[in-house]
Amino acid sequence: MTCAPVVDTSRSPFAKLRAVSVNAVILTDHFWAGRRQLNREVIIPGQARLCEATGRVDNLRVASGRKAGHFVGWFFNDSDIYKLLEAASWQLAGSNDPELNALVDGLIDEVAAAQQPDGYLNSYFMGERAERRWTNFDYHEMYCAGHLIQAAVAHFRATGKRSLLDVAIRFADHICARFGAEDQGKVFGTDGHPEIEMALVELDRVTGDRKYLDQVKYFIDVRGYGKLGRAFGRFESSYHQDRVPFREMTRLEGHSVRAVYLNCGAADLYAETGEPALHEALERMWSSMTTRQMYINGGLGSRYENEGFGTDYELPPGRAHTETCASVANFMWNWRMLLIDADGRYGDLMELALYNSVLSGISLDGTAYFYQNPLLDDGAHRRQQWFPVACCPANVSRTLASLPGYLYTVSDNAVWLHHFARSQANLTLPDGRAVSLIQETEYPWDGKVTIMVGTAGNFAMKMRIPGWVGAGWTLTVSGAPVDQAVVRGYATISREWSAGDRIELHLPMPVERIESHPFAVDNQNRVALMRGPILYCIEAVDHPGVDVRLFALPDQAALTADFDPDLVGGVSVVHGEAIISDADLAWDGKALYRRYTTASAAASFKRTPLKAIPYFAWANRDPGPMMVWLRRA
Ligand code: FUB
Ligand code: ZN
């Protein structure tokens, strides 16, 4: 059996947890297994067709001389093929799938053929543009290389084949030979778009070649001195994390995907080197992100003009940029922090981003994508089949494909359960002992999680107790209560297990009203609805004849939830009663402003049913206004 962890910390001295292989866990639920199957049957084949139809694969063929023509599209279009290859590779882990294998092998063949004798590989910088290689840091050459390396590592881990790995190594060696300290005869440089950092750490882990790790350190060290200049001639150094040396960073700044990808790389480097300053910077940025810079759905980036962070508390719901890639990046960064620190707050954030801003990035039928994930809309924002800048689709796809690898980790004598989904797991403790577990749950709709232990032995089970859970949660083993002390987000059950022992965790999931810090002015006097890990929204299609933007939710209004198997793929729906004031109805499009009188504040109102659905499922039915933050009444 291949061993295919998403981030391999099995020999990382400064990571507390070891990732397990993607194929060590088999999802058996409707929610995630269904989506992973959709990934295999619809999403990946659809993206492969679009990579062909949009000339992305032809770009490689032109570069290799297999086809006449010219490069088309954005200079980073190769990266979409690499991310697709990564997704397909994770999907292949542990599966016998000749058709998908053939698709992957065919694409790898095109990639390999386009590689130059010196290892260089980028279909944009071929022909007459070959002269311009490595002359502009913002042309994403290392960004594309990073995605190539990540795909190659995934492919190697999942299939054992070296076909793409050898290509990636040649390109990585080319880069390592070229960029570095001048006294080593190398030239200054790094990429305007971080990505290669985390890829090279994994290449170090796969090959055992330490030079890749040294290269990552160099790439992080050279940032922060304004030496990369303005990106695309218009964005300042902060756009590409070149304003402040990494170890001095106090908040996330600039382009959100770039910023968080860089943090992924720095976290990976820390797992190997244990350099305190890296960890401290990561913690400062995490703290800034979670207290001042992040949307309630785990989305990042509030400005369209630079796809980046705004000032603290600048979190407009309608103009939220919240790129799907940034949420994937947030998920990836928190995975790395979790592996390093074994702290449940990172698992909480992975969960938040996954359900509420990664998943919203794709339609329920797997054929259309959001680039931005706003929290308020008038009905115009719809998912698209594809984009000229198509970074988001395959980012969702690689996340879905690798999902089984995030549920559990292991450490000395312990199994850690981070994410809840019906599944079967065959894990291996660091000392080689096998542990099998069956997880039964209807999560995220129900907070009851049962773990059937299939292997006798002495080890600890560490269960994440989500940060969203309030009082009343319980934990038992074969019916008997166990110690509910929670340390850094985990309850621990250490004992001599017998095969057949049942762990039962019950996490109550009432509908909660969430308010935001008053400085997030757009949300003042508003609440959002959450139930368990799921963020809710209201959509026009469920409220015919009224505009949901006029809704106000009385603080006392009861909110209930029930499962509707026929709605948007089967979801728990929140029901309640909102009010619409007659004063608000009186606007009726006649004016934008009017004199305020206390009479209008105290106006009479109508009651109207409120039906909220999970935010991730919005915009899958008839278009119309949608909102997350509801006015309080
Ligand atoms: O530049 C490559 C990708 O395209 C970025 O990560 C996205 O934000 C989009 O700009
Ligand atoms: Zn994107």
The string of pLDDT tens digits covering residues 229-242 is 898 889 999 999 99
Torsion of Cα atoms, 438 then 444 then 445 then 449, to 10°: 30
- The residue-averaged pLDDT of 182-191 equals 96
Identify the nearest ligand to the CA of 394 by its number: 2
Which tokens in the block code for residue 575? Answer: 């029901």
β-strand pairing of 457-464 with 414-417: parallel
Ligand 1: atom nearest CA of 76 is 2
Distance (Å) from CA 325 to ligand 2 centroid: 4
Ligand 1: atom nearest CA of 193 is 1
Distance of alpha carbon 291 from its chain centroid, rounded? 19
Q: For a ligand 1 pocket test, name from 391, 392, 398 the mutation site with the most ligand atoms within 8 angstroms of its C-beta.
A: 391
- Which pTM value belongs to this model? 0.98
Catalytic residue, chosen from 51, 144, 176, 391, is 391
The string of pLDDT tens digits covering residues 601-620 is 667 999 999 999 999 999 99
- 174 Ramachandran zone, left/alpha/beta (phi>0; psi -120 to 50): alpha
**DSSP H or E run through 572:** strand 571-581
| Segments making up each domain of the chain, as ranges | 245-403, 409-506, 514-632
Annotation: CATH topology of 245-403: Glycosyltransferase (1.50.10)
- At residue 137, the 3 state secondary structure works out as helix
Which residues' Cβ are closer than 6 Å to ligand 1? 76, 193, 257, 307, 323, 325, 389, 391
Which tokens in the block code for residue 392? Answer: 């988001």
Structure confidence at residue 589 as a pLDDT band (50, 70, 90): confident
**DSSP H or E run through 611:** strand 605-614
Which tokens in the block code for residue 418? Answer: 């981070």
Query: From CA 551, how far away is CA 578, in angstroms rounded?
Result: 6
Distance (Å) from CA 72 to ligand 1 centroid: 17
Which tokens in the block code for residue 205? Answer: 């882990």
Which protein residue's CA is at the shortest distance from atom 6 of ligand 1?
257
Ligand 1: atom nearest CA of 143 is 2
The amino acid sitting at 156 is: F
Query: From CA 54, how far away is CA 109, in angstroms rounded?
Result: 19
Distance (Å) from CA 255 to ligand 1 centroid: 9
Query: From CA 425, how far away is CA 443, in angstroms rounded?
Result: 17
Q: Is 110 a catalytic residue?
A: no
* CA proximity to 200, closest of 156, 145, 118: 145
Structure confidence at residue 21 as a pLDDT band (50, 70, 90): very high
Catalytic residue, chosen from 110, 195, 197, 307, is 307
The string of pLDDT tens digits covering residues 25-54 is 999 999 999 999 999 999 999 999 999 999
Q: For a ligand 1 pocket test, name from 389, 395, 398 the mutation site with the most ligand atoms within 8 angstroms of its C-beta.
A: 389
**DSSP H or E run through 557:** none
Q: For a ligand 1 pocket test, name from 56, 74, 76, 321 the mutation site with the most ligand atoms within 8 angstroms of its C-beta.
A: 76
Query: From CA 280, how far away is CA 268, in angstroms rounded?
Result: 14
Q: Is 307 a catalytic residue?
A: yes
Ligand 1: atom nearest CA of 255 is 8
The string of pLDDT tens digits covering residues 64-107 is 999 999 999 999 999 999 999 999 999 999 999 999 999 999 99
Identify the nearest ligand to the CA of 261 by its number: 1
- For the segment(s) 409-506, the CATH number from 3.40.640.10, 1.20.1290.10, 2.60.40.1180, 3.90.1300.10 is 2.60.40.1180
Distance (Å) from CA 392 to ligand 2 centroid: 4
